[in-house]
Amino acid sequence: MSVFLAPKGIIDDIQAKLSRAWWAGKEKGRYWTMIPWKTLCKPKAMGGLGIRDVRLFNMALLGRQVWRLINNTDSLCFKVLSSKYFPDGNIFKAKKVDKASFTWSSIAKAAEMLKEGFGWQVGNGEKINIWADNWGMEGLNGDVIK
């Protein structure tokens, strides 16, 4: 799950097995849900039991791969992926490829999700595109903050 985006059906099966294991009683096929599953998935500090949402956990693991590609530009993985998918070295501005590998497609989806929450620190300003980059003036859903 840290390299591939798991298909929705697989995620649903894992989630169903987790909920069955949690709610199963002594009798086979009988489940008694006292608390909604979404409540159980909340962090303990927010009144839940801290059970991980498998879809979000999968995206978090893929996000870690994106983070590694951003920070470890000397790695073999970065060199191989950047040569084919983002030759300018910016993972957020990857070029479209007809037959991309499943690994790259998964990492690109995570990068797309992460890009919405990223903003720039100006620094020396060499790599900032003022027209295309997120300057932190928008919410996560793209609405302008007033």
Tell me what pLDDT residue 145 has.
46
Q: Which are the contacts of 11, defined by CB distance < 8 A and separation ≥ 6?
A: 54, 55, 58
State phi, psi for 31 to the nearest 5 degrees. Answer: -125, 140
Tell me what pLDDT residue 106 has.
92
Amino acid in the structure at residue 110: A
Widest CA span in the chain: 66
CA distance 24 to 19: 8
Torsion of CA 35, 38, 43, 47, to 10 degrees: -30
Tell me what pLDDT residue 146 has.
43
Q: Give the number of other Cβ atoms within 10 Å of residue 134's Cβ.
A: 14
Beta partners for residue 138, in sequence order: 144
Q: Please say whether the beta carbons of 118 and 134 come within 8 A.
A: yes
The domain limits of the chain are: 58-117
Tell me what pLDDT residue 10 has.
92
Tell me what pLDDT residue 39 has.
82
Percent of the chain with pLDDT over 90: 29
CA distance 146 to 139: 10
In 3-state terms, what secondary structure has residue 14? helix
Low-confidence ranges of the chain (pLDDT < 70): 23-33, 119-121, 133-146
Tell me what pLDDT residue 30 has.
62
Tell me what pLDDT residue 9 has.
93
Tell me what pLDDT residue 48 has.
82
Tell me what pLDDT residue 66 has.
92
